[in-house]
């Protein structure tokens, strides 16, 4: 699968993106670095290693129902089956990486977790066609591997170890492909649906919103299956039910993230920095805070910018710090004590809109930004709280 920001969760093979959001969620803990795939960091969850150990210890009895091998050999065969499956899942992810990078999209990392793996993209595909291809190559790779395994298995003696490995690879890769083609986020099928809707409607975010809702439906049906008939006619019901419920929860969480991203994404193009800028008062560094606040109120300014002796911007006073300062102390504090020094990323061009504005704010996180034209004229201050309020007013939660 390919996955989001995110972000944020795995199943057997999907692609995510980190999209602009007012306050990006913290990334989950990374896990153990395990080398690189085509230059992209591979990270393995410690839980995955636990699963390999448990699977290797638990499955040999099952293995001996299919092939006649000794106890020791059955453990080895089990370990080989598990590692080959995950190698196949990594091949699925590597195919997402290769196609994404061929289109110039940056890949943050590939994560191998309890439920499978995910490829985390840092950029969005430029066109619906590219979105479609980045998503489609994963299930295609799994189908190809299933076909190769089935072809090899057909030439091997029934109930030989080689036959068992080939049958296992054919079945599991087929299941990985089928599961990932379910048409809801965060699965590859959800991205295919999104790309189709994007192509048809011309609206990238509408496609994401629909694919997110379909993902929630898939999560609901998966949970229902776990409760109604977890065995699907075979196996140990309680473990299968538990696994299905975990998968359902995973899909629900990530589908919900897609829905939230779609809502933010639909609002962002309408954002304009010029409509959010607060009038600011420039003050000298040593001016007492109480006097600066009095002057600002007198002219209706809602932000304070500190200038040095040569009239250059030296700092932006934090509104939160002013509010936290008791009124009776304000005469004894100079404005520079509450100011953040102005660095490159804190000066925004007044013409910024939409995604460019969100990107600028995310690249340099701060509570306040200077807004100044190319001629150096100060137009005011952007308060992050105003930006978030604008998103909330447009229905983003």
Nearer to Zn ion, 48 or 369 (CB): 48
The residue number with the shortest CB distance to Zn ion is 138
Binding positions for Zn ion, rule: CB under 5 A: 1-2, 13-14, 138, 188
Nearer to Zn ion (CB atom), residue 2 or residue 56: 2
- If DSSP states are collapsed to H, E and C, what string results for the chain? CEECECECCCEEEEEEECCCCCCCCCCCCCCEEEEEECCEEEEECHHHHHHHHHHHHHCHHHHHHHCCCCHHHHHHHHHHHHHHHHHHHHHHHHHHHHHHHHCCCCEEEEEEECCEEEEEECCCCCCHHHHHHHHHHHHHHHHHHHHHHHHHHCCCCCCCHHHHHHHHHHHHHHHHHHHHCCCCCCCHHHHHHHHHHHHHHCCHHHHHHHHHHHHHHHHHHHHHHHHHCCCCCCCCHHHHHHHHHHHHHHHHHHHHHHHHHHHHHHHHHHCEHHHHCECEEEEECCCEHHHHHHHHHHHCCCEEEEECCCCCEEEEECHHHHHHCCHHHHHHCEHHHHEEECCHHHEECCCCEHHHHHHHHHHCCCCEEEEECCCCCEEEEEEHHHHHHHHHHCCCC
Smallest gap from residue 395 Cβ to Zn ion (A) = 31
Nearer to Zn ion, 194 or 263 (CB): 194
Q: Please state the closest distance from residue 180 (CB atom) to Zn ion, in A.
A: 5
Min dist CB 40 to Zn ion, Å, is 14
Nearer to Zn ion, 139 or 315 (CB): 139
CB of 361 to Zn ion, least distance (A): 31
Min. distance of Cβ 168 from Zn ion in angstroms? 20
CB of 2 to Zn ion, least distance (A): 5
Q: Looking at beta carbons only, is 120 or 319 nearer to Zn ion? A: 120
The CB-of-375 to Zn ion minimum distance in angstroms stands at 49
Question: Nearer Cβ to Zn ion, position 135 or 303?
Answer: 135
Give 118 or 222: the residue with its C-beta nearer to Zn ion: 118
């Amino acid at each position: 699968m390919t996955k989001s920001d995110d972000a944020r969760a795995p199943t057997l093979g999907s692609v995510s993106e980190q999209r602009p959001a007012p306050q990006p969620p913290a990334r989950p803990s990374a896990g153990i670095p395990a080398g690189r795939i085509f230059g992209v960091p591979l990270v393995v969850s410690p839980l995955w290693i636990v699963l390999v150990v448990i699977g290797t210890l638990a499955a040999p009895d099952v293995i001996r129902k299919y092939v006649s091998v000794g106890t020791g050999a059955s453990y080895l065969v089990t370990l080989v089956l598990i590692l080959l499956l995950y190698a196949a899942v990594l091949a699925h992810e590597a195919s997402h990486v290769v196609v994404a990078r061929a289109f110039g999209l940056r890949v943050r990392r590939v994560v191998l977790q309890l439920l499978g793996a995910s490829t985390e993209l840092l950029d969005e595909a430029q066109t619906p066609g590219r979105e479609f291809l980045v998503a489609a190559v994963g299930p295609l790779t799994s189908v190809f591997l299933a076909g190769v395994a089935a072809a090899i298995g057909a030439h091997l003696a029934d109930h030989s170890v080689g036959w068992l490995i080939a049958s296992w690879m054919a079945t599991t890769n087929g299941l990985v492909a089928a599961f990932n083609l379910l048409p809801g986020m965060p699965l590859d099928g959800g991205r295919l649906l999104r790309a189709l809707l994007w192509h048809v409607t011309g609206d990238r975010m509408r496609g994401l919103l629909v694919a997110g809702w379909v993902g929630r439906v898939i999560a609901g049906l998966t949970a229902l299956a776990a409760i109604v008939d977890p065995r699907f006619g075979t196996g140990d019901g309680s473990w299968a039910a538990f696994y299905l419920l975990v998968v359902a929860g995973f899909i629900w969480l990530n589908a919900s993230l897609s829905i939230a991203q779609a809502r933010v994404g639909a609002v962002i193009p309408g954002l304009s920095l010029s409509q959010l800028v607060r009038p600011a008062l420039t003050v000298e560094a040593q001016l007492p805070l109480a006097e600066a606040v009095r002057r600002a109120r007198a002219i209706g300014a809602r932000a304070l910018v500190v200038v040095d002796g040569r009239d250059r911007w030296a700092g932006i006073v934090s509104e939160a710090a002013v509010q936290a300062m008791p009124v009776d102390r304000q005469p004894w504090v100079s404005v520079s004590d509450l100011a953040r020094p102005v660095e490159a990323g804190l000066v925004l061009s007044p013409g910024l809109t939409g995604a460019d504005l969100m990107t600028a704010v995310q690249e340099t996180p701060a509570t306040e930004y200077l807004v100044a034209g190319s001629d150096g004229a100060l137009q005011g201050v952007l308060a992050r709280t105003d930006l978030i309020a604008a998103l909330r007013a447009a229905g983003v939660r």
